[in-house]
Amino acid sequence: MNKLRILISGAVVVLLASCTTAKQMSYLLDLEQNTPYEAAAAPELLVQPGDRLGISVSSDNAQLAAPFNLGAEAEAAGLSYQVDPRGRIIFPVIGSMEVEGKTLRQVQDDIAGRISSLGYIKDPSVNVTLDNFCVTVIGSVGNNVLQVEGSSINLLQVIARSGGTGANSKIKEVTVIRTEKGVRTAYNVNLQKKDLFESPVFYLRQNDIVYIKPKGSTLNGGGQMALSFVGAGLSLVSIITNFILWSNR
């Protein structure tokens, strides 16, 4: 009976070790099931120096809108309006415009208002997009520069697009580095806590850097899987061997 208890105890230890490893790799451990949480909307992006803005103007009369557009050839070549270090763009007919710190919607309304007030088009339709929305991901998930389509992406989406975290990732110590108005700030995020949804860096902005800290020396995916199987196999062999030895006494 004592030998059986020892055998069972050894098996429990192995199982608990496996459970601990799985828990260390799990996200949002304190998120309660079937409990509603208030979800904040993604904040609008703010224009920064170095941004490239895609701007198109349309009207019922295409000829009236033509002077305010880059033209078909320029659009096909991917040309856009570069925000200079002073936070300005040079827009056709209107000239220099300050756009830094404004949302895309505010830039859109500003251009439409100026075209209308100058008497060119009574009710112009203006569309503004950010053409170089990129996020850099480095650390245990590899090194990637992700091009973002649209104007919104969150931290979990970026990590998923980068292949996800593994056993070598410190998911309690994810760092997001953000630069605003010449000031660089590092934010720490714990992926195991639901508080990450309230973090100012849950929704990422252009040029953010996401750093997933590694725990130490790393193996590739095949090596990690092989090591897991070897560890489990050795534990099982050890238990069986001890049981046989004790049974033969």
Q: Which of 186, 181, 183 is nearest to 201 (CA)?
A: 186
DSSP 131: T
Helix (H, G, I), strand (E, B) or coil at 164: coil
Residue 246 lies in a domain: no
- Any idea which residue has 């208890």 for tokens? 5
Smallest CA-to-CA distance from 129 within 105, 153, 111, 110 is with 105
Contacts 24+ apart (CB under 8 A), 88-91: 89/53, 91/55
* pLDDT value, residue 233: 52
What pLDDT, in 10s, does the model give residues 151-161? 999 999 999 99
One-letter identity of residue 121: I
- Please, what's the largest Cα pairwise distance for the chain? 103
Give residue 111's domain range. Answer: 52-130
pLDDT-based confidence at residue 182 (cuts at 50, 70, 90)? confident
Last residue of some domain: 81, 106, 130?
130
CATH of the domain at 56: 3.30.1950.10
Q: Residue 59: pLDDT above 90?
A: yes
Q: How many domains is the chain partitioned into structurally?
A: 2
Q: Inform me whether the pLDDT recorded for 246 exceeds 60.
A: no
Q: Is 244 part of a structural domain of the chain?
A: no
Give pLDDT tens digits for 202-244: 999 999 999 999 987 444 555 455 445 545 554 554 555 555 5
- Pull the structure tokens for residue 234: 């050795």
157 located within any domain: yes
Least confident of 17-31, 44-58, 84-98, 155-169: 17-31
229 part of a folded domain: no
Is residue 143 located within the same domain as residue 156?
A: yes
Average pLDDT score over residue span 88-104: 96
Q: Which of 80-84, 227-231, 245-249 has the highest mean pLDDT?
A: 80-84
Those residues whose C-beta lies under 8 Å from the C-beta of residue 9, and which sit 6 or more positions away, are none
Closest by CA position to 145, among listed 206, 76, 196: 206
Predicted TM-score of the model (pTM): 0.75
